[in-house]
Amino acid sequence: QKLAASGEASPAVFRDIQGFAAKTNFSVRDVTKAYIQLQTSGIRPTEKMLMTFSDAASASLNPLEAFNSLVRITTRAVGGGLGLEELEQLVNAGIPVYTLLEEKIGKTRLQLSEMGQSAEGAKEIMAALNEGLEETFGGLTIKRMENLSTKISNMGDAFDALADNLFNEGGLGDVMKTLVDHITEALNGVVELRRA
């Protein structure tokens, strides 16, 4: 699914961005910033592209930094000038860029450096990298979010069990019932006094 271009319908774009952010651990602000960077570089961001970035970033120690690095590298590759420095950003984030690219296009680091200097070469590197990222990390964002949801659900169950324990076995329920009975009795007394 393509995210609409900002010139077409910005409320629709914002809804798409909000929907995407809700599926990931990135804020609406983070996704909006990425969207604008890609759009202004002449790249039409798609949900698939952003999800590939999110999936790969989910495997890193700092997901937001890795996500932003993927966006920067993609925008940099548009006009060529994609060098080892840019790819090293991803390596430092824990993404095995060189391994993926060697498997996909059979190029060494030095060859990638030379290849990335032309717009056509940079485009080929990015296409191979995105393909490798999708194959290696595809679906990782959803898995991580499901694990987080499960943990939050388990925490909620633990709080419910604690509340139940305090309320029923800890005597809090009896205290609350007595308190409610006294308040009800006092309110009824006020009503009787007003009637009198």
Q: Is the pLDDT of residue 79 over 50?
A: yes
pLDDT tens digits, one per residue of 107-153: 988 899 889 888 899 999 999 999 999 999 999 988 887 776 556 65
Position 39 pLDDT exceeds 80: yes
More confident residue, 3 or 171: 171
Structure-token pair, residue 101: 């690219």
What is the pLDDT at residue 132?
95
pLDDT of residue 6: 41
Residue-level pLDDT at 2:
44
pLDDT at 7: 40
d(CA 125, CA 115): 8
* Structure confidence at residue 196 (pLDDT): 72
Q: How confident is the model at residue 193 (pLDDT cuts 50, 70, 90)?
A: confident
Count of residues in the chain: 196
Across 168-194, average pLDDT = 78
C-alpha separations of 20 from 33, 54, 87, 139 in Å: 13, 10, 25, 14
pLDDT at 127: 94
Could you give the CA distance from residue 186 to residue 173 in angstroms, rounded to a whole number?
Answer: 20
Whole-structure pTM over 0.75, yes or no?
no
Position 85, amino acid: E
Confidence label for 38 from pLDDT (cuts 50, 70 and 90): very high
- The neighbour count for residue 130, using CB atoms within 10 Å, is 19
> What is the C-alpha separation between 186 and 163, in angstroms, rounded?
28
Distance CA 130, CA 74 (A): 10
